[in-house]
Chains A and B, each alone.
Chain A
Amino acid sequence: MSMLEVSHLKKYFATQKAVDDISFKVEKGSIFGLLGPNGAGKTTLIRMITGIFYPDEGGILFNGKKFSPTADASRIGYMPEERGLYKKMKIGEQAIYFAQLKGLSRADAVARIKDWFIRFDMKGWWNKKIEDLSKGMAQKLQFVITVLHEPELIILDEPFSGLDPVNANLIKEEIFRLATSGAAVIFSTHRMEQVEEICNQIVLIDRGQKILDGSVAQVKQDFKENLFRIHVDSLPQETSLAPFDLLAEKEHTITLRIKAGRTPNDVLKYFIDRECQITHFTEMLPSLNEIFIRLVEGTPLARQFQTIQS
């Protein structure tokens, strides 16, 4: 049973099909990347999952049962991209307040916040105000507030923006730890290198529709172009009969594409036969960034408004 199952979700606004028939599953303990260009419908999708919007059509199953915003709100933690904190409120009180809204008792909230503040090296912060914090510090606090009530489903919108590498790492480790302890994490971002590093599952949406779904490894396999990189001490003079096309060469490192019907072994054999010393041979899988750009390219930067007949 999946932790979250979204099926045929639709949400139309007056001028846009914001989410148009999207389905996917998020498993317990997985880190799920929700990707898409600006205006693809990510926020609308997240808002339906967090219970802010009701979907026009389709259903959301939470732990196998129909999702109910009021009952399940305390089992979801949502961190919006922009900071959702009161500027003039003291940090300790603020964390307690949000924890209580999520159903924690005051004593419970205080104990957990203290624990997190020690772990995140935020001990001296209790009586400071948000306006005294830097953007990165506020980000850390926001993360703590999001996960404080130990939600089963954690939704993070650009959690690393504004964080230095040390703090980004700190939060990354926490995300891994939370996933290992059984929470499902939905991770929405534009930063593909982070997705590659963190996520095991991704969904790419564009113009309200799902255009890609799968594990990161699988997606890379699906989009590979038979590109390899080889490092040899000397180059053969003539490559017209080779089982590959030479794409680029730089200081004895060659990027090549294997011709249809040939295998990597044919390539190695070709070089070995010509007595070239091979020091390095590797398959070049496309980065998610390349896949993203390839799939989304041609989409106008901002979504055009559509007329909806309903």
Chain B
Amino acid sequence: MNKIGLIIRREYLTRVRNKTFLLSTFLLPVMIVLLISSAGFLAIKGKTTHRIAVVDENGYFKDYLKSDSGIAFNFSPGIDSLNYSAKNCSAVLIIPELKEGEKTVYRLKYKKQLGLGDISDLERRISSAITDHFIYTKTNVSRSRLDSLRAAANEMAELKTFPDEGKNVKASSQGFAYGVGYACGFLIYILTFIYGAAVMRGVMEEKTSRIAEVIVSSVKPFPLMMGKIIGIGAVGLTQFLLWVVLIVLVAGVGQAFIPHDVLQEVNNLQQANSMTMGSAVQASEAAQKIFRIRQMIGGANWLLIVTCFIYYFLGGYLFYASLFAAVGSVVNEDPQEAQSLLLPISMPIVFSFIIMSIAAQDPGGSLSVWASIIPLSSPIVMMARIPYGVPGGVPYWQLLLSMALLAGGFLFTTWLAGKIYRTGILMYGKKPNWKTMWSWAFRRE
């Protein structure tokens, strides 16, 4: 058998047969779900109601400012800027008499800082209170009429967005695309670190135990490094495919638990929807929910997402794994040494993650576009954009350019790392720095 094949086989089998592989395959999704849901739970739970005392010299704000879960207003007569905290309020809003035609400053004094969102929410409420007051006092519209008009207007229209893909018009769901994009980016981020670190540890093991010395006499360093990278990459791919199978299975089992009559209603909805848009079919709330979820899932181009995910996972992994291998090859027994050398490699990955969380919300922004083309960050950032659709969210030229640059990028890093690796793997005792590694990489032979 070919020697690099032997190395790939060993790297793959020893890892896949390991119990920790199976354990991590099943535990990682569970952990990610727990992490995301607990973060969501804390975000909801952590939202506090701000109690704001209002000192109003105009006298009409108490009719317009309504307390809710975000802000509770306190209009008690005796309250002022001195005693508001004694009356259980965290801030006091002082509104002097407002005059038409001139700008009056109103102030918020606080003991507890309000968030940026809360401040703009407060400002919006004040200005709409003033507008409402004007409409009420300067026109003949009654308050109840105004409120009912408002409510009616809110119910009249709903925004749906459609990516322009020529003939093929499908309803898109921004929220769903955001979720899928964020999850894909997050997964690639985690996998790059997990498998990159696995490559580094593997290389360090071979170096410190002198295995490299024994093997290098029968296999050259470059195939040794590539065998390891490819073998571990195959483990990652296996893990991803297992996840896909797992998700399909869970979804199938989940559907089996939906009652038959609800399923029937869902099918009715589906048929009605395909015949005439927006026709009203009587259906229970549960059926409508399931229908909507089905529509969201059906609206996404899964083949494209999974294909791109595999491409960007492998591309990003290959791009960074060889760099991890190079670091592993230069450090000695002390794992501390790896820390400082890892920083320049983990920085771009962490930055990509930050850009990715922006790109998942704003897939068309110039930062998102450029970061999804440059191979340092493209594996993570591009995956956040792709669920928005191709070519609707990502034009073809951007996708192809990004893929081509990533392929070129990992060929370059592999070449560079290979040169550092082949010297580093047999060097002992000397702590290398970036300068010496640079000279290994670019010295002439």
Contacts and interface: CB of A to CB of B under 8 A. Distances in A.
Interface of A: 47, 50-53, 69-70, 73-74, 76, 78-89, 97-98, 100-103, 106
Contacts of A98: 214-215
Q: Is the contact region of chain A dominated by helix, strand, or loop, or is it mixed?
A: loop
Contacts of A76: 217
B205 A80 contact: no
Given A87-B205, A101-B3, A101-B6, A52 B211 contact: no
Contact of B213 (A69, A80, A97): A80
Contact of B218 (A47, A73, A82, A86): A73
B10 A97 contact: yes
A50 B6 CA distance: 21
24 contacts: A47-B426, A50-B217, A52-B426, A73-B217, A73-B218, A74-B218, A78-B213, A78-B214, A80-B210, A80-B214, A81-B210, A82-B209, A83-B209, A84-B209, A84-B214, A84-B215, A85-B211, A86-B205, A87-B205, A88-B14, A97-B6, A100-B1, A101-B3, A106-B1
Interface in B193-221: 205, 209-220
Contacts, number: 61
A133 B252 CA distance: 47
Contacts of A89: 10, 14
A85 B214 CA distance: 9
Contacts of B213: 47, 52, 78, 80, 84
Interface string B1-38: 10100110010001000100000000000000000000
A148 B406 CA distance: 44
Top 7 A-B pairs ranked by shortest CB distance? Answer: A84-B214, A50-B217, A73-B218, A84-B210, A80-B210, A84-B211, A82-B210
Contacts of A84: 209-215
Nearest to B5: A100
B375 to A, nearest CB: 33
Interface residues of B, number: 21
Q: Which of B211, B212, B217 gathers the greatest number of chain A CB atoms within 10 Å?
A: B217
Contacts of A51: 217
A86 B209 contact: yes
A105 B306 CA distance: 39
Given A101-B215, A101-B219, 6 more contacts: A53-B426, A69-B217, A78-B213, A80-B214, A85-B211, A86-B209
Nearest to A100: B6
Contacts of B3: 101
Q: Which of A53, A82, A101 gathers the greatest number of chain B CB atoms within 10 Å?
A: A101
B214 to A, nearest CB: 4
Contact of A87 (B6, B209, B215, B217): B209
Q: Is the contact region of chain B dominated by helix, strand, or loop, or is it mixed?
A: helix
A82 B214 CA distance: 11
Contacts of A101: 3, 6-7, 215, 218-219
Interface in B258-288: none
A97 B216 CA distance: 14
A70 B220 CA distance: 8
Q: Which of B14, B18, B218 gathers the greatest number of chain A CB atoms within 10 Å?
A: B218
A106 B211 CA distance: 20
A70 B218 CA distance: 7
A152 to B, nearest CB: 14
A172 B439 CA distance: 44
A53 B213 CA distance: 11
A305 B290 CA distance: 76
A102 B6 contact: no
A7 to B, nearest CB: 21
A233 B427 CA distance: 61
Contacts of B212: 84
B217 A52 contact: yes
Q: Which of A76, A80, A81 gathers the greatest number of chain B CB atoms within 10 Å?
A: A80
A286 to B, nearest CB: 34
A244 to B, nearest CB: 50
Given A88-B14, A100-B1, A78 B210 contact: no
A100 B3 CA distance: 8
Contacts of B214: 78-80, 84, 98
Nearest to A70: B220
Nearest to A155: B217
Contacts of A97: 6, 10
